[in-house]
């Protein structure tokens, strides 16, 4: 257990426990809720694997302690006095035994490279769900995570800031939810952007038509028919009609597309 790398996980196991407000909120747990509590314990807290405790006791223990644990995470996220948090971590982690081990796996030696070190440690905890949670929180703080633990400004769930830039929201939906006008403003921007792009392309095509009209008029000695202009430019009749309607709407009458 622990954080041996500076690559942060956004929702580590102890954070997922604090954020799980569905499993433990019922006053009288149903069979499904008890099953979810046991699955939560086995999947989120490795030391509970094979735990033979009663599901109701597991649900009651995790549910009863969740508000207190959330209070500790809130204190860390807000930068409050953490002495009571440290006391609770110390109390729980006293039960953890760290064992030094040496791998017996044979490793071939090389003249160019020595074998990798085979020393490692294992943290052995009793079958106590809370001890596992506090041990992981302790390792998180040891790695310098106190300044990275955040409380989402929209949904109040906890998360770890995985990038250097300050983040106030745990997800994109929460960021949009906190600013309800953002989506509307973005929609209006996209509409204006599409309109400006369409108008730019129309004006580009009108300039091409105007240049082709001048060249063909000089070559033919008269105003060329529309089909000749379209053939020279590789333009469709439908596109010509779109340009004609745009000029009528904008100027009240066709200008470049007027061949009279």
Q: Distance of alpha carbon 31 from its chain centroid, rounded?
A: 33
What does the pLDDT look like over 88-126, one tens digit per residue?
888 888 877 777 777 665 555 554 455 566 776 666 655
> Looking at residues 220-241, what average pLDDT do you find?
92
What does the pLDDT look like over 170-195, one tens digit per residue?
988 888 777 767 666 777 888 888 99
- What whole-number distance in Å separates Cα of residue 170 and Cα of residue 38? 26
- Is the pLDDT at 69 greater than 80? The verdict is yes
Of the candidate CATH numbers 1.10.10.10, 3.60.150.10, 1.10.3300.10, 2.40.30.20, the domain formed by 13-102+116-165 belongs to: 1.10.3300.10
Contact 160, 151 (CB under 8 A): no
- Is the pLDDT at 2 greater than 50? The verdict is no
Domain positions in the chain are 13-102+116-165, 182-251
Taking every pair of Cα atoms in the chain, the longest distance, rounded to a whole number of angstroms, is: 101
Highest mean pLDDT among 18-32, 56-70, 197-211: 197-211
Q: Please give the residue that has the higher pLDDT: either 188 or 75.
A: 75
pLDDT score, position 188 = 81
pLDDT score, position 113 = 54
- CA nearest neighbour of 205 among 232, 165, 168, 167: 232
> Looking at residues 136-163, what average pLDDT do you find?
91
């Amino acid at each position: 257990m622990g954080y041996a790398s500076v690559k942060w996980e956004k929702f580590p196991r102890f954070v997922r426990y604090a954020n799980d407000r569905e499993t433990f909120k019922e006053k009288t747990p149903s069979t499904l809720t008890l099953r979810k509590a046991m699955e939560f314990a086995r999947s989120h807290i490795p030391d509970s694997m094979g735990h033979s405790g009663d599901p109701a006791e597991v649900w009651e223990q995790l549910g009863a302690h969740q508000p207190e644990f959330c209070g500790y995470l809130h204190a860390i996220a807000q930068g409050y006095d953490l002495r009571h948090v440290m006391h609770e971590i110390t109390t729980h982690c006293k039960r953890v035994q760290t064992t030094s081990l040496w791998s017996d796996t044979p490793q071939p030696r090389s003249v160019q490279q020595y074998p990798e070190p085979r020393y490692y440690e294992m943290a052995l905890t009793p079958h106590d769900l809370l001890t596992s949670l506090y041990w992981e929180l302790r390792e998180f703080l040891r790695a310098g995570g106190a300044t990275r633990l955040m409380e989402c400004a929209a949904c109040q769930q906890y998360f770890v800031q995985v990038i250097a830039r300050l983040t106030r929201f745990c997800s994109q939906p929460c960021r949009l939810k906190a600013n309800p006008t953002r989506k509307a403003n973005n929609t209006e921007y996209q509409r204006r952007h599409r309109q400006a792009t369409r108008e730019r392309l129309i004006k580009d095509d009108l300039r091409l038509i105007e240049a082709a009209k001048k060249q063909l008029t000089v070559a033919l000695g008269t105003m060329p028919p529309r089909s000749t202009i379209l053939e020279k430019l590789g333009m469709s009749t439908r596109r010509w009609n779109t340009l004609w309607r745009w000029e009528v709407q904008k100027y009240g009458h066709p200008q470049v597309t007027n061949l009279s």
